[in-house]
A and B are shown apart, each in its own frame.
Chain A
């Protein structure tokens, strides 16, 4: 079943076209990798889906235009992990993660269910944040901060996860952990993942489909093998990616 259907998506800032008529779909159980060199418009697509940028074209979730969703309802379906986090004040890890439940009980007089706190604790647990749950987010390392917001996302418990460079600040251990976590999460019913990834090896390892962009335009969209063809990558990155990857790997023998 198709969860997200993006059709003719364009984003312009002034007279500059950042994303140019991009179309793709994400089905249940899929992990779509959005790849491409810097300035390809990868993060802009994420912003458009989260309604954080003006766009033309349509974005449908389960057949309905996302613009017709109320923000809280959309947040229950689509969760987004931003690339960078600049927290203004010294909130605790728990406070940030708890906000993930916002869309599930937005009303001030809404009743608190026991599930609420359990989901928060679970999210903290699987991201390994339980020991620092009362620490101020201002004192966290980049990796801890990233995991805090990932935990918030798990607490939010949407159907589609959109991760903008999820392992940006993470060392190898957590990179592996995060991808394993998301992979595990994806096994649940009616779920899908979209992630913007720079590391082509990681993308190749976990993706089930891919969207390759260059300068805002689609180079290729489809299953992993067809998108990751030598010709596609070379035209997008202007270099022999295959040769480079082999050279990198050859060091480890």
Chain B
């Protein structure tokens, strides 16, 4: 994975060390700062004891750090990484810098699944995760299949524009169904409203493990397709000409992306802009080569979302802001700035 054979296109070990350093620094910051002010020494000692498996006295500080903050920060970091690597992959695959899980309609499909699960109280007995997650993943896959087959019907070559267009239309369609479900959900409308705001509050270690597993499996598969994504980003025809199995690679990437987004949406709701903005910023710094873009996006996405969550948790203490509001606000400003800069750069 450390790219010995990458002709210098990938990062070297030192760069990865630096990324990890920044990531861990942010993680420590986010675990130490929160709604409740806990002395740093206390935080450090609680975590040290937990790491070394010493008995920790159960106090409210312990509970806050180990049961509330740490799992949440981990989930946030993993979600940020997963959404960003998905966004980077989509943007490369579709050769469209505005592509994202949400543009493809995968996010809204996943949302619909989760909303249905809430509205109809769908739970899966004897499974450690709730019905919302299973439904979100299932619907993310389902949306993908519908979008793909529609695109395939309309345009044999699955041309990039067709997919995006269908994704956007599908996205709107899903949103309207969500509104419809909400209207008929009656007494559960409140839960649905809360859910659609997107919340990583209440994340636990099970969620973190699930996210980590998803990121490990699907993120790795995506990362292994860095060269194919480069080819797609240069052009789908060119990809085919140099020998990329375009249909297989596209399907693989889309499946990985929808799985990642499904898991993220079910755990944290729809969180906008991370998957879109992070790859852009990374591309500005490290260039469009996916050998750098994919790992850097996941590191930066994790860092960005952790910081956004930190703001969401502490800005209006004791109230919490929805994380989506923070990411959209910061993300939109950043995006406009970058867009302006890059347009000016191109002349």
Contacts and interface: CB of A to CB of B under 8 A. Distances in A.
A and B touch in the complex (CB under 8 A): yes
Interface of A: 50-54, 70-76, 79-82, 85-92, 95-96, 98-100, 102-103, 105-106, 108, 110-112, 116-117, 120, 137-138, 149, 152, 156
Given A71-B245, A95-B230, A102-B231, A149 B238 contact: yes
A103 B243 CA distance: 5
Interface stretch (B15-23, B61-69, B282-290, B317-325): B282-290
B241 A96 contact: no
A106 B5 CA distance: 12
Given A102-B242, A103-B242, A92 B287 contact: yes
Q: Is the interface of B mostly helix, strand, loop or mixed?
A: loop
Nearest to B234: A87
A89 B288 contact: yes
A82 B238 contact: yes
A52 B241 CA distance: 9
Interface of B: 4-5, 7, 9, 92, 95-97, 156-157, 224, 227, 230-231, 233-235, 237-238, 240-246, 283, 287-289, 346
A91 B243 contact: no
A111 B4 CA distance: 9
A141 B289 CA distance: 21
Given A95-B9, A117-B7, A88 B242 contact: no
A103 B237 CA distance: 15
A50 B97 CA distance: 27
A99 B245 contact: no
Contacts of B7: 98, 112, 116-117, 120
Contacts of B4: 112
A76 B243 CA distance: 8
A87 B244 CA distance: 17
A54 B224 contact: no
Nearest 7 pairs between A and B by C-beta?
Answer: A75-B243, A103-B243, A89-B288, A112-B5, A88-B95, A72-B243, A80-B241
A183 B112 CA distance: 59
Contact of A91 (B234, B244, B246): B234
Contacts of A89: 92, 95, 97, 233-234, 283, 288
Contacts of B241: 50, 75, 79-82
Nearest to B245: A71
Nearest to B226: A108
Contacts of B156: 54
Contacts of B287: 90-92
A11 to B, nearest CB: 11
A71 B244 contact: yes
B234 A99 contact: yes
Given A79-B241, A102-B231, 4 more contacts: A81-B241, A82-B235, A87-B235, A102-B242
A110 B244 contact: no
Given A99-B230, A138-B346, A88 B243 contact: no
29 contacts: A50-B240, A51-B240, A52-B240, A53-B157, A71-B244, A75-B241, A75-B243, A85-B235, A86-B235, A87-B234, A89-B97, A89-B234, A89-B283, A90-B287, A90-B288, A91-B230, A91-B289, A95-B9, A95-B230, A99-B242, A100-B242, A102-B243, A106-B227, A108-B224, A112-B4, A117-B7, A152-B238, A152-B242, A156-B242
